[in-house]
Chains A and B, each alone.
Chain A
């Protein structure tokens, strides 16, 4: 893929899209910008967070491109909180471990699973529950998508990916859970250059790969230790 614009070129209005990252860490910032640029509408997004006001998925939100969202935490986004309280977005909040496992299950051919998380709370309402060995569990369904937009540190031209530090987060599971996975990387290398023992996401999951045009790599909360 020559550019982010080209990579997202066939994403239609109404598509269901997984977007990697935790907060602003490990988000596909170039592919998100390309979606904003394309102006695609009525998106159903699946992502742990929704960026912040003015960056990452916050840009999609501000442009009115998101119809529904599934995630676990939306606390950094004032516009979103406002939209929720005014009922202007269809939001589903999912416990983060259930969220990550639903995506993993989606890519692994598992339609549903039982988890103790959320039993006896609002998230278990209208769901099947079952007792195993004296403990109560909630049944949760797998999550899948039409497209996954993910970010890795390094990738080769066949789509093998390596992530860096906590920027890995949801990216590997999302890579497997979508019909079309598009990966942007900071460093794109030739096939054979990555150590096969150190690949986090094997190429089979990645349909398109490109080197991102611009990395702002914004930090959400710069916390520092004062020198002694």
Chain B
């Protein structure tokens, strides 16, 4: 368990370094939400929640939680100065209209073409896509935050997704505890690897083919 926490912390810390001052950002449910804890010093971003809010603040102190103020994960949150509230139709007009700079989501599978699957496992699990299909289709940049392999050790980065897709050719970047991978028209490019690993180590854990970037670097967290 401690090891999983460590993996997730690495992933979200690396993604936080993608934030730029003034970005409007949507963080998905679960691990992506934690990116908010590592916004670099000197940078201000505005967090959008697809249930109708711009300007999500930290979780409330005990006694200050408000049932009318939640994020898309149904967690109690607070508002930042400058917050606005709007309807779900307005919220998704904002998303579909291409106004969100960065969308960070979890995934069950990602593939060489930038396809992503994260909403159902036929016959086993049906949760629904929520706002994920709209976010991946229309955010300016889509970053996937996920562990590199399943609990059984199988690669989640595949030649081709096997589960029903959330979006087709939509992912820009995949960040795992092992690597920072860019999706390009010619396939997946390994840009950064976790300290202490070789590109061969990462490829061994990856079902898809990785091209090694000429500028390959160690990941910084």
Contacts and interface: CB of A to CB of B under 8 A. Distances in A.
Contacts of A22: 51-52, 70, 74, 88
Contacts of B80: none
B86 interface: yes
A25 B68 CA distance: 6
A85 B76 contact: no
Given A166-B85, A223-B76, A121 B166 contact: yes
Contact of B70 (A98, A104, A116, A220): A220
Interface string A198-224: 001000000000000000011111111
A101 B126 contact: no
B220 interface: no
A100 B88 contact: yes
A166 B61 contact: no
A166 B74 CA distance: 10
A88 interface: no
B75 A223 contact: yes
Nearest to A80: B126
Contacts of B65: 219, 222, 224
A96 B138 CA distance: 13
A173 B168 CA distance: 29
Interface string B103-128: 00000000000010001000111111
B186 to A, nearest CB: 19
Contact of B129 (A95, A169, A220, A227): A95
A96 B164 contact: no
Contact of B52 (A71, A104, A115, A169): A169
A8 B129 CA distance: 31
B91 interface: yes
Name the residue in B62, B65, B91, B134 with the highest tally of chain A Cβ atoms < 10 Å from its Cβ.
B134
Interface of A: 22-26, 48, 71-76, 81, 84-85, 91, 93, 95-101, 103-104, 115-123, 153, 163-173, 200, 217-225, 227
8 contacts: A25-B70, A91-B126, A97-B96, A98-B134, A116-B96, A123-B133, A219-B67, A221-B76
